[in-house]
Structure 1
Amino acid sequence: MTHAATVDAAVAIRPAVSADRRRIITSLSAAFAGDPAMRYVFPRDRQRQRHLPRLFAMLYDSDADCGRRLVSCDGAAATLWRAPGLTDNAARFGWWQRMLSLWRFGEGMSRAYRLGHAIEAHFPARPTWYLHIAGCAPWAQGKGLGAAAVRAGLQRIGDASVYLETANANNLGFYRNLGFDVTGRWHVPDGGPEFWSMQRGG
């Protein structure tokens, strides 16, 4: 057994409660600060720093009744899941429409639309669980928290199909170690980031 597996096995992951909301938003905002998709939508550092907490607050709230929200006990790592049957176009990508309310003067709207439409176009046709968001705050990485948070969701789901997409090539090995395979590779049109579709089970 590797040291990472030992650490991972000892991490307690539980369903998120209302008291976790602020910590989860802070952790996810920090985790995605350098993500290519977020850098595409929010190109300027100060702009991204200002908008990410508002974005992740909306994502966290929108997933309340759609599946599961899991968190490590310290709030540093979290995963947001959407269940099959709750991943049609309206439920799956409604948060991209709500995301546009972040800009009252058109800031980032065209990039957000392109990103949302590209994600929708590559989503599997058959019903599947959707690992909507998975992140671990930079100050807590390397401790197995992120892997534990994903594994906890996979254990609850069992053998059902699970889908995710990532714009960060560094995530590919992480998800492969959790049983995901790359099923597609694509770009957001008009100079957007490269994405990988990944699936597990089913």
Structure 2
Amino acid sequence: MTTDATRFATEVGWREFCWHLAFHNPELHEKEFRAEWSHFPWGKADNPENKELFHAWCRGLTGVPLVDAGMRELWETGYMHNRVRMVAASYLTKNLLLDWKLGEKWFWDTLVDADLASNPANWQWVAGSGADAAPYFRIFNPVTQGKKFDEEARYIKRWVPELAHLSAVEIHRGAEQGYGVLAPDYPSPLVDLKLSREEALAAYSDWK
């Protein structure tokens, strides 16, 4: 089989696995597959601070270019590249420590290709509560992901016009150091990526 055919077969297999999970767990979209994760201290949208964080994530106003590009593409087109879906989901659950179910519902409401089984299964994979979950401590670094998968920042420039006048080097550097006068119209980061990662790991350690 060719590489493309192998990749396609792998994705079909993953989709079928998701539907197997959903068939036997019809509450997969609102209940953690691994029951112990129902006690994890996810942030809920029932207080003003979390509500503001979630709203900023939904609208692509997090101050993290790759995340914002993906969320704006989603809002405008109803689609988002799979790589960016994972990065955006990781940012919501690990950096903002918000409940994965908030993101799952937003994707269900906005994605034109939202799938009843794949959507919750993939969200639980990222959150760490799923059947074949990535370890909770695997946290996508959106800056590193941007450099690797959008090296020339074409995707970011397309969806984040506040940064379109900057070079790719300036965009990726600013994602870590801030933009200041280079892009005064672009929002400041909601959280410090390094500090929020440490807080997520601490929350996991305390819970475990």
**TM-score (norm. length: structure 2):** 0.29
Greater strand content:
1
Q: TM-score, structure 1 length as denominator?
A: 0.29
